[in-house]
């Protein structure tokens, strides 16, 4: 069950349909970003129909007071959320005194295209009224050459008639949030002026009660335009504009280019904003839209050269993986260690726009392979720099060590749903797993030895305090948790959580033995180590002897176990059709839970163990988390269940493009977009790195072939799989021995 708005094309998201009913979905799917800022695919001109106009700036957020009906000790003081920033796309257009509004105007030849090769968003249409016909074409992109810049080009051709055209182009700070605190303003004006033909607006976030720094943002606009226009400037509250007017005749073509520089107090003090914006605009004063676009194309070409996965024989699959990689890199490309990857990126406000565990569990493996190691190290540094906040989170729960937050901008927990925020503590283990993943993949132990061990020990201390000893059962347990399957809350002995806790403690012990000087520096006593070893040896891990499976939690098998296929189509997705009570009592699983642990620690389980658990849990899984399908795709491929692997790839690759879960209108599932890469590289190609580099590839039946590149321990490796063979080549770096389908092979640049 899906909804597809755009044509299938290997490199483009395109349509000839103006779908007013699904306008929000269209806006999500045509979002663009450059890691510094981004926006939904809103129209530049006014649109009176249903729309979610959103522009967002990385790292700019607001702490809103936690509001709950019944306060519980331990709640965070505030809920952090990304806030909608000034609308610098704004181009209000009038034709003969009538506002251009595609919700009400008659238009023909509508076309909308997002070119994933370069991030260029194009829209064109012909406006028709009486004897007037005008062709409009808008193009825009956010620069990855100069992160503070946005470029917009409007080309207008009068096909018939003699219309009077008025365009008010500028910056509008009268913006409000949608996801929470509806219609609330989070900004106040500081400056709104015109200076040397540059118009600008500076706004600052409203006051908060939590000593969180206020952010100020300045947007400055420079226009270049055809001589046909007369121009004036206009400023009013929270709005600065340049007004262009002309009476045009049939056959006339005019052009308006808009260049916007956006500066924030995260990087530059507010008193220096105007000069900084002017300097950037002046640096590019003589560079046209087309000239900068050429540089943009080259920079994206370099990214795609490393990261692209080429698929032959299946354009749907090809479009899906490229769309996901494009949106992922538009959100984050590792330049700033203060930033992380929000689950909606720059495409919406749901989930507060903050950092989740998705990054460590799903995004780190991708960035390790398709970007420089420094990109992943910046993700690790992000968590290390927030260790103090993690200590505070644990203290607020009356626990030792560090508890990394479920949702954060600063390291301090800022999410207020108890069952998720304070029970879904498995995310703490994902922070350590990311360190392990980085170290194993790159072979670089410097981070592990230094900053990494500080994080590992802090998390280990949390787990050692969070467990309790059951005298009756003579083992350690963890009660009152929510596992990855959020369709069950406050359960006891979630297998994945207990398994992860044991692994973290064991990993901490191993590395303190390896680096004994760090044990003293981190004040880890022999008594503490002995306690950790005792927990590792005696942790309770639920297991069912009859089915020979790991039990998701203590009482899971007491449920009415039945497959998802027993549900009628109109019940799905259950999170939109069932009460929460009914969901919690059901056996249906939101996302991989036990299978998440088997995916993480695959070398610790036999093929038979993997198969029994997959065969039991996969039929119960509704995949209503965007994170779910990729794990199942990888495991299905390993188990030889090729059709299931391809089905799960299709789901993760086109989750948003086909709106599988009927929620993409709220924004894209950015962090889970890594899943399509994982499904192909770890799934179809069977890449593993825990015992050296190995591949176990297969080719989906309806594919003719696929190829990709990965960075690995200073090497660049190309993998090509087709109907005849698997070819693995070393492009750069020293010789390397790898394993392909069980056979050893020495890779050399010269061979």
pLDDT of residue 357: 85
**DSSP single-letter state for residue 206:** P
Confidence of residue 179 (pLDDT cuts 50, 70, 90): confident
pLDDT of residue 392: 96
pLDDT 10s digits, 111-130:
999 999 999 999 999 999 99
Residue 473: how many other CB atoms lie within 10 Å: 10
β-pair type (468-470, 715-722): unpaired
pLDDT of residue 81: 87
Confidence of residue 418 (pLDDT cuts 50, 70, 90): confident
Percent of the chain surpassing pLDDT 90:
90
pLDDT of residue 1: 59
Read off the pTM.
0.96
3-state secondary structure 606-640: CHHHHHHHHHHHHHHECCCCCCHHHHHHHHHHHCC
Closest CA to 656 of 319, 367, 399, 364: 319
Residue 258 reports pLDDT greater than 80: yes
pLDDT 10s digits, 435-465:
999 999 999 999 999 999 999 999 999 999 9
Among the listed ranges 193-197, 476-480, 491-495, which one has the minimum average pLDDT value? Answer: 193-197
pLDDT 10s digits, 517-562:
999 999 999 999 999 999 999 999 999 999 999 999 999 999 999 9
List C-alpha distances in Å: 105 to 6, 18, 123, 165, 536. Answer: 22, 12, 16, 15, 68
SS3 181: coil
Confidence of residue 233 (pLDDT cuts 50, 70, 90): very high
CA 442 to chain centre: 23
pLDDT of residue 182: 64
Q: Are 744 and 728 in contact (CB under 8 A)?
A: no
Among the listed ranges 148-157, 190-199, 410-419, 577-586, which one has the minimum average pLDDT value? Answer: 410-419
pLDDT of residue 669: 93
C-alpha to C-alpha distance for 690 and 605, rounded to whole angstroms: 13
Confidence of residue 353 (pLDDT cuts 50, 70, 90): low
Residue 375 reports pLDDT greater than 90: yes
Residue 324 reports pLDDT greater than 70: yes
Q: Are 154 and 34 in contact (CB under 8 A)?
A: no
> Quick one: CA torsion of 304, 309, 314, 315, rounded to 10 degrees?
-20
Cis ω before 579 (30° cut-off from 0): no
pLDDT of residue 66: 85
Q: Which long-range contacts (CB under 8 A, 24 or more apart) does 463-467 make?
A: 463/401, 463/428, 463/429, 463/501, 463/504, 463/505, 463/535, 464/400, 464/401, 464/505, 464/528, 464/531, 464/532, 464/535, 465/394, 465/399, 465/400, 465/401, 466/399, 466/425, 466/501, 467/501, 467/535, 467/539
List C-alpha distances in Å: 569 to 1, 50, 562, 577, 578. Answer: 8, 28, 15, 11, 13
Phi, psi of 650 (to 5 degrees): -55, -40
The catalytically annotated residue of 270, 486, 528, 618 is 486
**DSSP single-letter state for residue 144:** S
Confidence of residue 356 (pLDDT cuts 50, 70, 90): confident
Closest CA to 678 of 446, 402, 436, 361: 361
E-strand stretches of 565-605: none
pLDDT of residue 181: 59
Residue 578 reports pLDDT greater than 70: yes
Among the listed ranges 19-33, 142-156, 167-181, which one has the minimum average pLDDT value? Answer: 167-181
Closest CA to 259 of 283, 231, 228: 283
Structure tokens at 419: 């069952």
Q: In the annotation, is 486 catalytic?
A: yes
Q: Which long-range contacts (CB under 8 A, 24 or more apart) does 332-336 make?
A: 332/35, 332/363, 333/35, 333/144, 333/303, 333/371, 333/375, 334/367, 334/371, 334/372, 334/374, 334/375, 334/376, 334/378, 334/379, 335/35, 335/147, 335/378, 336/35, 336/58, 336/59, 336/378
pLDDT 10s digits, 644-667:
999 999 999 999 999 998 999 999
pLDDT of residue 79: 87
Residue 107: how many other CB atoms lie within 10 Å: 16
Whether the CA torsion 467, 473, 479, 483 is positive or negative: it is: positive
Residue 306: how many other CB atoms lie within 10 Å: 15
Confidence of residue 750 (pLDDT cuts 50, 70, 90): confident
**DSSP single-letter state for residue 604:** G
Average pLDDT, the chain: 95
pLDDT 10s digits, 93-105:
999 999 999 999 9
**Tokens 């939101």 sit at which residue?**
590
Q: At what angle do helices 453-466 and 495-514 cross, to 10 degrees?
A: 130
Contacts of 272 (CB under 8 A, 6+ apart): none
Q: How many DSSP H helices and E strands does the chain contain?
A: 21, 30
Laid out side by side, the sheet with 55-57 consists of 32-33, 37-39, 55-57
């Amino acid at each position: 069950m899906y909804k597809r708005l755009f044509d299938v094309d290997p490199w483009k998201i395109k349509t000839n349909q103006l779908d007013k009913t699904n306008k929000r979905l269209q806006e999500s799917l045509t979002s663009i970003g450059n890691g510094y800022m981004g926006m939904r695919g809103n129209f530049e001109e006014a649109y009176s129909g249903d729309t979610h106009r959103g522009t967002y700036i990385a790292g700019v957020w607001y702490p809103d007071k936690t509001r709950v009906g019944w306060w519980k000790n331990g709640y965070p003081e505030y809920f952090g959320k990304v806030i909608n920033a000034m609308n610098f796309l704004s181009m209000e257009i009038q034709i003969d005194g009538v506002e251009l509004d595609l919700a009400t105007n008659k238009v023909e030849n509508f076309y909308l295209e997002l070119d994933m090769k370069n991030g260029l968003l194009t829209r064109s249409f012909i406006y028709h009224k009486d004897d007037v016909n005008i062709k409009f074409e808008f193009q825009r992109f956010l620069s990855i050459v100069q992160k503070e810049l946005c470029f917009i080009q409007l080309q207008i051709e009068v096909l018939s008639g003699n219309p009077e055209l008025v365009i008010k182009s500028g910056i509008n700070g009268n913006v409000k949030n949608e996801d929470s605190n509806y219609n609330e303003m989070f900004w106040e004006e500081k400056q709104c002026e015109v200076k040397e033909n540059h118009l600008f607006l500076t706004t600052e976030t409203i006051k908060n009660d939590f000593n969180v720094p206020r952010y100020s943002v300045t947007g400055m606009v420079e226009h270049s335009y055809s001589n046909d226009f007369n121009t004036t400037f206009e400023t009013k509250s929270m709005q600065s504009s340049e007004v262009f007017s002309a009476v045009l005749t049939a056959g006339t073509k005019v052009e308006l280019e808009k260049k916007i520089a956006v500066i924030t107090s995260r990087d530059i003090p507010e008193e220096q904003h105007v000069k900084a914006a002017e300097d950037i605009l002046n640096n590019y004063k003589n560079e046209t839209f087309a000239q900068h676009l050429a540089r943009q194309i080259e920079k994206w070409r370099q990214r795609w050269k490393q990261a692209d996965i080429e698929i032959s024989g299946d354009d749907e699959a090809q479009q899906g993986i490229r769309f996901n990689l494009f949106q992922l890199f538009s959100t984050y490309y590792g330049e700033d260690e203060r930033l992380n990857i929000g689950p909606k990126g720059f495409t919406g406000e749901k989930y507060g726009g903050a950092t989740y565990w998705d990054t460590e569990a799903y995004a780190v493996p991708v960035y390790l392979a398709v970007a420089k190691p420094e990109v992943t190290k910046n993700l690790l540094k992000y968590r290390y720099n927030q260790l103090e906040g993690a200590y505070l989170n644990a203290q607020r729960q009356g626990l030792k060590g560090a508890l990394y937050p479920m949702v954060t901008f600063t390291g301090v927990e800022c999410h207020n749903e108890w069952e998720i925020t304070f029970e879904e503590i498995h995310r703490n283990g994902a922070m350590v797993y990311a360190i392990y993943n980085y170290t194993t993949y790159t072979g670089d132990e410097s981070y592990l030895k230094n900053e990494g061990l500080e994080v590992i020990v802090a998390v280990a201390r949390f787990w050692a305090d969070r467990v309790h000893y059951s005298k009756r059962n003579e083992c350690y347990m963890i009660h009152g948790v929510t596992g990855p399957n959020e369709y069950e809350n406050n359960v006891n002995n979630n297998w994945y959580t207990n398994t992860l806790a044991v692994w973290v403690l064991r990993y901490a012990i191993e590395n303190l033995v390896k680096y004994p000087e760090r044990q003293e520096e981190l004040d880890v006593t022999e008594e503490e180590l002995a306690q950790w070893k005792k927990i590792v040896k005696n942790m309770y891990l639920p297991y069912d002897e009859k089915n020979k499976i790991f039990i998701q939690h203590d009482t899971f098998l007491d449920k009415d176990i039945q497959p998802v296929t027993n549900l009628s189509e109109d019940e799905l997705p259950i999170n939109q059709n069932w009460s929460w009570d009914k969901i919690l009592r059901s056996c249906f699983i939101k996302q991989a839970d036990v299978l998440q642990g088997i995916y993480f620690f695959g070398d610790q389980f036999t093929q038979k163990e993997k198969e029994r658990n997959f065969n039991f849990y996969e039929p119960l899984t509704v995949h209503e988390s965007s994170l779910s399908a990729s794990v199942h795709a990888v495991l299905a491929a390993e188990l030889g269940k090729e059709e299931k692997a391809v089905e799960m790839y299709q789901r993760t690759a086109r989750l948003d493009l086909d709106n599988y879960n009927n929620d993409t209108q709220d924004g894209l599932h950015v962090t889970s977009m890594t899943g399509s890469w994982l499904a192909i590289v770890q799934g179809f190609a069977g890449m593993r790195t825990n015992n050296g580099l190995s591949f176990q590839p297969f080719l989906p039946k309806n594919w003719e072939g696929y190829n990709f590149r990965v960075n690995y321990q200073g090497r660049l490796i190309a993998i090509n799989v087709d109907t005849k063979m698997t070819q693995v080549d070393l492009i750069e770096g020293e010789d390397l021995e790898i394993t392909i389908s069980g056979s050893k092979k020495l890779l050399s640049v010269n061979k």
